[in-house]
């Protein structure tokens, strides 16, 4: 298993390099001018100089290599300096956002907590409600519970989050006034009152995303349970005289979880990716919102870095899913 993991990690390097090249080239192909948003009063020759300062006139390969150097060498060295008080990165140019002129990673670091609390919590809640729903739906297939569960997941799956989000805002903020429609990032949780406020402002975005996640995962769980419920070994377990709880929770569930756990692991990168639309609707200034505003502003370094981080996470969690599969299913051995 260890050799397998190391081999996969080594194989991930060329994969990621290729992805980084594709991201870089795609962004170069995209139309847009980072100085387009600037006031028209700036003379064209000054704009040209600004572009030159951004490195626009260098050959593409040089630009690509410089970005890679910043991403893989300068940034890690900088974190090393911050953590251990060394001075490796002094004088080296970090990746700078064209919008704010501050380092891209600093901005990302500021945005991660919002995304993790809102999107991460919604994923967690989604999984926690999806698993029991999937289990019960499969065990009582075609019962009322199953029919309602199927209906709700179809709704959660097919109704887009920008619709459910706005619908919730209209009902619970505008009509009932229970929850705020805008997420207040400046809120600091220091006592019970502010904690309650935090819970209230998280409730709606979390509910919207949790419905979406739960819809997907509960279907996986149900299908996987149904696959296993009619297996011969389940009949064997009943013939052994095991109680129904043991049969379902030990024999069926443990085997059914194998594919579901990998699906859940594969979904984790989407947490970090943020929920672009939902974050927009509720004004959560997380990573998704950061990405979309960077796209609007032609902030190439920011878009490039964010998409590449998502790519790294996806490659990484694919590996995690494969390793989990191997750990959970004794029939699968990678060595």
Which residues bind to another protein, rule: CB under 8 A? 142, 231-233, 235-244, 246, 251, 254-255, 328-331
> Is the Cβ of residue 79 or residue 233 nearer to another protein in the bound state?
233
Q: Please name the residues in contact with 213: beta carbons below 8 A apart, sequence gap of 6 or more.
A: 122, 123, 126, 127, 130, 267
Strand partners, 96: 103
Quick check: 241 and 284 in contact, CB under 8 A? no
The owner of tokens 């001018």 is: 33
- Inter-CA distances, 30 with 24, 121, 131, 281, 297, Å: 10, 34, 42, 26, 13
In the complex, what is the shortest distance from the CB of residue 228 to another protein, in angstroms, rounded to a whole number?
10
In the complex, what is the shortest distance from the CB of residue 4 to another protein, in angstroms, rounded to a whole number?
18
> Is the Cβ of residue 252 or residue 321 nearer to another protein in the bound state?
252
The owner of tokens 């919002």 is: 114
> Is the Cβ of residue 160 or residue 243 nearer to another protein in the bound state?
243
In the complex, what is the shortest distance from the CB of residue 236 to another protein, in angstroms, rounded to a whole number?
5
> Is the Cβ of residue 44 or residue 241 nearer to another protein in the bound state?
241
> Is the Cβ of residue 201 or residue 224 nearer to another protein in the bound state?
224
> Is the Cβ of residue 223 or residue 246 nearer to another protein in the bound state?
246
Alpha helices in the chain (DSSP H): 2-29, 44-53, 60-69, 75-84, 104-115, 121-139, 144-158, 161-168, 192-229, 232-239, 244-245, 253-273, 276-282, 287-296, 300-328
In the complex, what is the shortest distance from the CB of residue 143 to another protein, in angstroms, rounded to a whole number?
12
**Whole-angstrom distance, CA of residue 248 vs CA of residue 14:** 44
Question: Cα Rg for the chain, rounded, in angstroms?
Answer: 24
In the complex, what is the shortest distance from the CB of residue 238 to another protein, in angstroms, rounded to a whole number?
6
Quick check: 138 and 220 in contact, CB under 8 A? no
> Is the Cβ of residue 262 or residue 305 nearer to another protein in the bound state?
262
In the complex, what is the shortest distance from the CB of residue 240 to another protein, in angstroms, rounded to a whole number?
4
Kindly state the tokens that stand for 5.
Answer: 């993991």
In the complex, what is the shortest distance from the CB of residue 241 to another protein, in angstroms, rounded to a whole number?
3
> Is the Cβ of residue 237 or residue 281 nearer to another protein in the bound state?
237
**Whole-angstrom distance, CA of residue 77 vs CA of residue 90:** 9
**Whole-angstrom distance, CA of residue 243 vs CA of residue 247:** 6
């Amino acid at each position: 298993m260890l050799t397998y993991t190391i081999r996969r990690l080594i194989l991930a390097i060329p994969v990621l390099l290729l992805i980084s090249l594709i991201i870089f080239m795609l962004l170069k192909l995209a139309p847009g001018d980072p100085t387009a948003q600037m006031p028209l009063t700036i003379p064209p020759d000054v704009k040209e100089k600004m572009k030159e300062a951004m490195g626009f006139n260098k050959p593409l390969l040089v630009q690509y290599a410089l970005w890679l150097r910043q991403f893989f060498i300068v940034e890690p060295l900088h974190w090393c300096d911050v953590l251990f008080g060394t001075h490796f990165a002094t004088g080296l140019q970090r990746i700078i956002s064209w919008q704010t002129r501050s380092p891209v990673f600093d901005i990302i670091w500021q945005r991660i907590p919002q995304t993790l609390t809102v999107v991460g919590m919604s994923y967690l809640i989604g999984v926690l409600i999806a698993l029991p729903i999937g289990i019960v739906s499969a065990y009582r297939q075609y019962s009322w519970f199953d029919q309602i569960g199927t209906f709700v997941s179809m709704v959660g799956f097919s109704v887009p989050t920008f619709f459910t989000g706005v619908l919730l805002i209209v009902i619970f903020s505008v009509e009932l006034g229970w929850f705020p429609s805008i997420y207040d990032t400046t809120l600091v949780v220091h006592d019970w009152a502010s904690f309650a406020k935090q819970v209230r402002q998280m409730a709606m975005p979390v509910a919207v995303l949790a419905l979406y996640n739960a819809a997907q995962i509960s279907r996986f769980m149900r299908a996987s349970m149904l696959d296993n419920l009619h297996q011969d070994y389940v009949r064997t377990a009943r013939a052994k005289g095991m109680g129904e709880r043991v049969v379902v929770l030990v024999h069926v569930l443990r085997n059914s979880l194998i594919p579901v756990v990998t699906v859940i692991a594969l979904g984790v990168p989407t947490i970090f990716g943020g929920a672009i639309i939902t974050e927009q609707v509720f004004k959560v200034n997380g990573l998704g919102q950061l990405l979309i505003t960077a796209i609007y502003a032609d902030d190439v370094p920011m878009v490039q870095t964010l998409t590449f981080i998502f790519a790294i996470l996806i490659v990484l969690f694919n590996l995690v899913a494969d390793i989990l599969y191997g750990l959970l299913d004794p029939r699968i051995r990678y060595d």
